[in-house]
Amino acid sequence: MMSTTDRRTLIVDAAIDLIATQGLRAMTHRALDTALALPAGSASYYFRSKRALVEAIVDRITARSRTDFAAAQLAPSGPLAPEAIARGIAAWLDRLLAERRNQLIARHALILDLLSDADMHTRLANSLFSAARARDLFHALGVADPDGTAADFIAVLEGAVFDRFAGARAHLAPGTEDSLRQLTVALATFFRGALP
């Protein structure tokens, strides 16, 4: 028998998939019951309102992002060579695009939908990349303004991710050498421009 926590997670993951494949308006309690072949009213039993469901989605995406980011080996172990750093971060982005595509799409849809909700918007907007880790990296690289450069770099990362699932480069399949090369070139270009 499935636990309450497992059922809630299953519903949240299905909601993320619905948003990613059919849009935010498609995410209803009834649609979730149908998608999961649950008895009518199941999704609303676990999440009484759409707001409660959206909060759970934000929590899920944020928690998964923190776990993935903490596990990622993004800190260079040797010399701080821009090309090597760019390739390491590109490989991480490529994995995100391969393994969490629906979460990335749902995140962007919700970021736009939650513009007027300062708390949840901020949580989602800051959920994918760590400003503190980016600042530490640029500080270690000797950049004069590590805070500003970190913010600019995160903007580049956000743009690169969006471009790959909804932009001109959506045709590039993650997990391929072409995908990794494209991301590496974009990030290395930023590093070359940002470094003293």
Q: What number is the average pLDDT over the span 123-129?
A: 89
pLDDT at 75 over 60: no
pLDDT at residue 79 is higher than 70: no
Q: Please tell me the predicted confidence (pLDDT) of residue 71.
A: 74
Quote the pLDDT of residue 103: 95
The answer to whether residue 77 scores a pLDDT higher than 70 is no
Long-range contacts of 24-29, Cβ-Cβ distance < 8 Å, separation of 24 or more = 24/109, 24/110, 24/113, 27/53, 29/53
The whole-number pLDDT of residue 70 equals 72
Contact 113, 23 (CB under 8 A): no
The reported pLDDT for the residue numbered 83 is 85
Q: Who wins on pLDDT, 93 or 4?
A: 93
- CA 44 to each of CA 12, 55, 58: distance values in angstroms, whole numbers, following the listed order: 12, 14, 17
The answer, yes or no, to whether residue 98 has pLDDT greater than 70, is: yes
The predicted-structure confidence for 3-50, as pLDDT tens digits, reads as follows: 888 999 999 999 999 999 999 999 999 999 999 999 999 999 999 999
Query: Counting beta carbons within 10 angstroms of the beta carbon of residue 68, is it exposed (0 to 12), middle (13 to 18) or buried (19 or more)?
Result: middle
Decide: 139 and 133 in contact? Cβ < 8 Å. no
Residue 131 has pLDDT above 60, yes or no: yes
Residue 78: what pLDDT? 58
pLDDT at 133: 85
Give the model's pLDDT for residue 8. Answer: 95
For the chain, give the mean pLDDT: 91
pLDDT score, position 84: 86
pTM attached to this predicted model: 0.89
What confidence tens digit (pLDDT) does each residue in 53-72 have? 999 999 999 999 888 877 76
